[in-house]
Each structure stands twice: as C-alpha cells, then as structure tokens.
C-alpha cells in the first residue's frame, strides 16, 4: 500500500452487534468515501439521516468513551472504529449506523479491522497529507496525565497505563503501521474497574456490558471470559483509544506520542491542541492566494539550512508545501527594495525573468535535497528547456513557485516548474541539474 496517496475502502462492509450503554441491537456499515472526505458518521435511523463529522469540535462528553454531537444528534463510543480505520491506513470512510453507538463486540477494535480486511483498501488520486511535527507539543492535567508529542519521521505511540492506587501499571510502545496495528494493538480489549462501574450497573446504564465485551478488574482480580491476550493488554488498549481520539484532530501526522495515564478527556484535549497548532502552521501561508493542501511549512531559517544561497541571490522566502516525494511549492515576496530594481528598468520595475528561473531552480533543489540520500549535497544547473515568460512580475507581487520531479537518473535530476502570481502562470520551464557533494 502506497503511503503517498489517500486510501478508502474497496467496498462496503457491515457488522451487527450490541451497543455497550443501551444494550440495543445495532448495524454498522463502513462505506467508501471520496478523497478529502475524512471520517463521518451517519445516523440512518433518524429523519434526514444526519451526518456528524469525526471532528474534535464535535466532542460533547468524554466520560468512559468519546461522544460526538451535532445539535441533538449524538454518536457514542466512536474511538474504536476511528482507531481501526486510522491504524489500517484508511483516510476516507462514511460510517453508517441505525443506532447512536457502534457494536461493542469483544471490547476491542479487531471486529472493525476484520471488516476492513474483508473488503480491502484501494488507493485514491489525492496526495495523503501527513503533518510532520517539528516542535514538541505537551499537555499535562492535574490528575497526573501527561501527553507529549515529539518529532519523529514515523507515527509512534508509547503508553504507560496507571490504574487506581498504581494497580496494573503497564507499558507499551510501537510504531503504528497497518501491520503493527493489526498484530499488536487491535485485539486489546476495553477494561474497567469494578468500583467505577458498580454504580452504573446498579442504575442499568451499561445494559450491553458483559465479561464478553470487557475485562473487569476487581481489586487485584482480573475477571474475563478468556485469559489476557497480552501481558500488557491494558496499556495496548489505551494506545488503541489514543489513536482513535487523536484522529479527531482531522490530520494525520508523523510524531512520537508519549502518554502517561491517558484517557478520553486528555486525549481529546490533545486532539484540539493538534488541530489548533496545525491551523497555526498553515496560517504561515498567506490567505490571499489559494495554496494546494500539503505537509509542513519551512520558514526562512529552515530554508537557509538547506540552500547555500544568500542575499541578494536567495530567491525563496518560504516553502509552503511538500506533497509526497515529488512536488514542492515555494514562495517569494517581491518588494521594491529588491537590489535588481536599481538597474533593471528603474522607471518601470519588473523582476528579471532569469531570476524567476533561479527561483525555480532553488525550489527544485529543496525538493531534491529533502531526500535522505541527498542530504549535504548541492545542486548545479545543467540546462533549462521550454522556458516561457508569460507576464511581468511587479513589486508587491507574491510568487508561488511550483516544482515537480519528472525524472531522476543517478545524480541527475529533471524538474518541471512554473511561477504563479494570483493563480496565473507568469513563467515556466523544465530544468536539469546535477547533485554534487559540497
């Protein structure tokens, strides 16, 4: 499965079962969804069959499970199915239910994983956005919960479960891929402490609960229909919940999530923090011009670490998109203070076309130098073909430089580039250059 593009289900899959809190029969269907759809729930048992997006802004309650609400319409215990979809590499799905809660099954996400595997996953045409966490993000609550996300090239979770009075303290850590999720995470079951659920059982509030759908801890005793599936099953289930809750941020990311005593409340607070930090990162791109969706933004300090150019020949102010391994978009603000305006038509200032070509070459270099095998090298121009200048670039314009790799052979790279101002192409070219050691 290619990680560079979005994926959805190859067909619909249906599961029937009992909901945890109401004890009612429920039918859940996972359906394919278009690119950019994300995860949405649909209550087909209600008039107009309303939708609820799997969005942290829709979180209503987090007691014992995560509940989403849109007006008076609610969906309870969403974390297991979202975790399964995320863990198995699905980006877009429509989750239809004829009740307000998914089937609890055996208390794990394995039934949903089996549904996904039964119908399969297919690639889509849109690039998968993966936000690379570049600075630590930290959350701490007053009851001892800590969640920190630190930079990592992969998505990894490390979870420490701590029960009341320190009971059943367990640890689990793993990179999360479809393979590891299926093998190491999805079978871990929900667990509860008897003293927490006894009042609820007496009030009849967990009508679908049983030793077949959860592990019950009473004192030091573990009550279950079967033996523990893993020695650290509780920590693994906490990881399962954490993956589902964090996906409510609406963006997949690479980073190492380190959680001590996580729970649905702190998990969803971190999801809200992630969503806010992502919006802050994207705000570095001006709103006046539409930019294609992408991954991380590189500011000028990071650009200077990659390119050897300096004033007055640095023609890139910021990298605003890196789409997969083959596309990159840079940005250049053109001001009247550019040194070349002193001699290039000073009475009618126009950015020289050759410097637009240089900007294309510099963004192309960033694109090529992002590859691990090219770190520390430098790009040298070899040729420029099919060069066209279509309209003048003036002081006050913001140029967006789009580059795409069209061929790589050894140390020789070829890119297709174009510069745009206000969405209109102002210049374009195909460039060839060599990557050499410094």
Looking at the annotation, which residues are catalytic? 264, 344
257: which 2 tokens?
A: 């999530």
Helix axes 110-119, 79-87, angle to 10 degrees: 40
Beta-strand relationship, 93-97 and 39-43: parallel
Determine the length of the chain: 438
Q: What angle is formed at CA 151 by the lines to CA 145 and CA 152, rounded to 5 degrees? A: 110
Q: Which of 235, 237, 217, 215 is nearest to 226 (CA)?
A: 215
Q: State residue 382 phi and psi, 5-degree precision.
A: -120, -40
**Cα gap 375→156, rounded to integer Å:** 24
C-alpha 112 chain-centroid distance: 20
Cα dihedral 139, 140, 141, 142 in deg (nearest 10): -160
299: which 2 tokens?
A: 């500011």
**Cα gap 84→15, rounded to integer Å:** 14
Contact 159, 172 (CB under 8 A): yes
Cα dihedral 121, 122, 127, 128 in deg (nearest 10): 0
**Cα gap 387→368, rounded to integer Å:** 21
Count of CA atoms in the C-beta half-sphere (13 A) of 382: 16
Q: Which of 294, 239, 290 is nearest to 267 (CA)?
A: 239
Q: State residue 424 phi and psi, 5-degree precision.
A: -105, 140
Q: How many helices (H) and strands (E) does the chain have?
A: 8, 25
Helix axes 233-246, 79-87, angle to 10 degrees: 90
- Name residues whose C-beta falls within 8 Å of residue 92's C-beta, 6 or more positions apart in sequence: 6, 7, 8, 32, 33, 34, 35, 36, 37, 38, 39, 124
436: which 2 tokens?
A: 């050499």
**Cα gap 267→259, rounded to integer Å:** 9
Any bridge partners for residue 420, and if so which?
400, 425
């Amino acid at each position: 499965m290619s990680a560079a593009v979005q994926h959805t289900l190859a067909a619909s899959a249906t599961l029937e079962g009992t909901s945890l809190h109401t004890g009612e029969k429920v039918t859940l269907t996972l359906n394919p969804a278009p690119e950019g759809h994300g995860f949405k729930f649909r209550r087909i048992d209600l008039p107009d069959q309303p939708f609820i997006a799997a969005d942290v802004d829709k979180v209503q309650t987090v007691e014992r499970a995560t509940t989403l609400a849109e007006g008076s319409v609610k969906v309870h215990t969403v974390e297991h199915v979202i975790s399964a979809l995320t863990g198995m590499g699905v980006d877009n799905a429509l989750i239809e239910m004829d009740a307000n809660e998914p089937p609890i099954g055996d208390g794990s996400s394995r039934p949903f994983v089996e549904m996904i595997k039964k119908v399969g996953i297919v690639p889509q045409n849109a690039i998968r956005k993966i936000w690379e966490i570049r600075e630590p993000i930290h959350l701490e609550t007053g009851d001892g919960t800590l969640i920190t996300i630190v930079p990592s090239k992969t998505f990894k979770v490390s979870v420490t479960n701590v029960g009341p009075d320190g009971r059943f303290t367990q640890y689990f850590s793993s990179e999360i891929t479809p393979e590891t999720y299926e093998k190491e995470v999805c079978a871990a079951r929900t667990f509860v402490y008897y003293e927490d659920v006894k009042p609820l059982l007496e009030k009849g509030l967990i009508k679908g609960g049983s030793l077949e759908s959860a592990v019950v801890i009473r004192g030091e005793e573990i009550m279950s229909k079967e033996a523990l599936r893993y020695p650290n099953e509780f920590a693994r289930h906490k990881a399962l919940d954490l993956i589902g809750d964090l996906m409510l941020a609406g963006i997949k990311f690479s980073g190492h999530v380190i959680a001590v005593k996580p729970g649905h409340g702190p998990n969803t607070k971190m999801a809200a923090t992630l969503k806010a930090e992502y919006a802050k990162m994207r705000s570095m791109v001006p709103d006046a011009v539409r930019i294609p969706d992408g991954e991380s933004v590189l500011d000028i300090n990071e650009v200077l670490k990659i390119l050897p150019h300096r004033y007055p020949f640095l023609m890139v102010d910021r990298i605003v998109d890196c789409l997969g391994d083959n596309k990159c978009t840079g940005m250049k603000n053109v001001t009247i203070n550019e040194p070349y305006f002193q001699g290039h038509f000073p009475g009618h200032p126009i950015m020289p076309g050759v410097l637009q070509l240089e900007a294309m070459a510099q963004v192309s270099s960033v694109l090529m130098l992002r590859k691990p095998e090219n770190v520390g090298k430098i790009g040298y121009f070899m040729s420029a073909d099919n060069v066209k200048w279509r309209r003048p670039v003036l002081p006050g314009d913001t140029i967006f430089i789009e580059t795409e790799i069209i061929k790589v052979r050894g140390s020789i790279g070829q890119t297709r580039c174009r510069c745009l101002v206000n969405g209109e192409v102002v210049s374009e070219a195909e460039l060839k250059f060599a990557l050499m050691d410094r």
